[in-house]
């Protein structure tokens, strides 16, 4: 039997398979290349962008856990990262106090810039100390304001990626329900304290929105920005307040050195009264992965648990 036809057929099939292999589309080795590249300043905003953006985004956060945004200075690498992003998310209200000019320069350069401040009605904002023209930036401690922030992020992502609008809105709807549940959790825990027990003394004045929303009198040793250091007179005045009100516990913060609250505790002791350090609160940053409090919802729940357990 002549083997040539079989050999010829085998060669033809081999060439066909080879050509088919050459013409097959290559596998996508970078599954994130079609996603929206988002850069967020703080840990809170990085979490928010991740939740609302879902599978359509990749998120880089400039500031890690425990970083103080009031004092943060952007590096050349940070600026490059924002310039090359599709979307940049920042808080505003002078939270990122040393980065204002950077955000101004980004506008019109390419990225969609989402400023949370722009989505908040001025009537909901608290004044920065005695200057009514400057507002307290710590809006995330009132869950209702964080819902407004989530809506602002969803709107901005939809502007940058119109095809994903339905996904962003669906993610937002789910998250808003989770935030409502979180608000209920906070109120239930706060109800364990009498009105007289609801006095919150912290390292810096970051919890006024929390106080207004959930019925606490709030005192911070430092001002709204950690750039303003507490003096001897500030420590003495607050120590007198603690003694007069017989406050059971005061709190350190994850992004503020503990020495300020330790000095306050010592000043109280010198006046003949003992006040405990009730624990560490997350103020300008979420917790890290090891803490288990590395999302906004977990962080605010951890805060209220620490506060209530210490003041009861």
Residue 255's pLDDT is: 82
End residue of a domain, out of 187, 212, 238 = 187
Contact (Cβ atoms closer than 8 angstroms) between residue 243 and residue 273: yes
Residues 57, 180 within the same domain: yes
Above 60 in pLDDT, residue 271? yes
pLDDT of residue 273: 97
In a domain, 234, yes or no: yes
Q: Please spell the DSSP secondary structure of 245-261, one letter per residue.
A: HT--EEEEETTS-THHH
Band of residue 18 on the pLDDT scale cut at 50, 70, 90: very low
Q: Per the domain annotation, does 21 fall within a domain?
A: no
118-139 residue pLDDT tens: 999 999 999 865 556 689 999 9
Both 158 and 54 in a single domain? Answer: yes
CATH number at residue 295: 3.40.50.1980
DSSP character string of 138-183: -GGGSHHHHHHHHHHHHHHHHHH-GGGHHHHHHHHHHHHHHHHHHH
Res. 12: pLDDT tops 80: no
Q: Residues with Cβ < 8 Å from 6, sequence gap 6 or more?
A: none
Q: Token pair 């955000």 is at which residue?
A: 103
Backbone angles phi, psi at 224, to 5 degrees: -60, -40
For residues 2 and 298, the model is more confident at 298
Say whether both 57 and 139 belong to one domain.
yes
State the pTM of this model.
0.85
5 inside domain:
no
Give the model confidence (pLDDT) of 142-196 as tens digits: 999 999 999 999 999 999 999 999 999 999 999 999 999 999 999 999 999 999 9
Does 110 map to a domain?
Answer: yes
Q: Which two tokens stand for residue 162?
A: 């119109």
Residue 28 lies in a domain: no
310 pLDDT higher than 60: yes
Q: Domain count for the chain, please give it.
A: 2
Last residue of a domain, one of 187, 211, 236: 187
Are both 209 and 124 inside the same structural domain? no
d(C-alpha 200, C-alpha 311), whole Å: 9
Distance CA 240, CA 99 (A): 37
131 and 57 co-located in one domain: yes
Domain that holds residue 52: 36-187
182 with 207, same domain: the answer is no
Same domain, 215 and 150: no
Residue 8 belongs to a domain:
no
% of residues, the chain, pLDDT over 90: 73
Helix, strand, coil content of the chain in percent (nearest 5): 50, 15, 35
Classify residue 34 by its DSSP letter. Answer: T
Instruction: Check whether residue 58 and residue 144 sit in a common domain.
Output: yes
Residue 25 lies in a domain: no
User: What mean pLDDT value characterizes the chain?
Assistant: 87
Q: Kindly report the number of other CB atoms within 10 A of residue 98's CB atom.
A: 14
């Amino acid at each position: 039997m002549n083997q040539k036809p079989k050999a010829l057929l085998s060669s033809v099939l081999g060439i066909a398979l080879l050509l088919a292999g050459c013409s097959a589309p290559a596998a996508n080795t970078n599954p994130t290349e079609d996603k929206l590249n988002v850069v967020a300043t703080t840990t809170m905003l990085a979490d928010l962008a991740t939740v609302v953006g879902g599978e359509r985004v990749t998120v880089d956060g400039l500031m890690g856990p425990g970083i103080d945004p009031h004092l943060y200075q952007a590096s050349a690498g940070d600026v490059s990262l924002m310039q090359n992003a599709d979307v940049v998310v920042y808080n505003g209200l002078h939270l990122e106090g040393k980065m204002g000019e950077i955000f101004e320069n980004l506008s019109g350069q390419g990225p969609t810039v989402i400023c949370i401040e722009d989505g908040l009605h001025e009537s909901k904002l608290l004044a920065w100390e005695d200057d009514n023209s400057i507002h307290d930036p710590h809006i995330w401690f009132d869950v209702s304001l964080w819902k407004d922030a989530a809506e602002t992020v969803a709107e901005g992502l939809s502007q940058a990626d119109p095809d994903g609008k339905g996904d962003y809105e669906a993610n937002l709807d789910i998250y808003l329900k989770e935030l409502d549940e979180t608000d209920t959790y906070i109120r239930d825990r706060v109800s364990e304290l009498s009105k007289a027990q609801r006095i919150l003394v912290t390292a810096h004045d970051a919890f006024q929105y929390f106080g207004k929303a959930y019925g606490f009198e709030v005192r911070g040793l430092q001002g709204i920005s950690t750039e303003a250091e507490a003096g001897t007179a500030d420590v003495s005045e607050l120590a007198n307040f603690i003694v007069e009100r017989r406050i059971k516990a005061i709190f350190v913060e994850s992004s503020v050195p503990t020495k300020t609250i330790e000095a306050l505790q010592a000043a109280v002791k010198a006046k003949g009264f003992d006040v405990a350090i009730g624990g560490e609160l997350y103020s300008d940053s979420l917790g890290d992965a090891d803490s288990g409090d590395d999302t906004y919802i977990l962080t605010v729940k951890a805060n209220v648990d620490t506060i209530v357990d210490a003041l009861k």
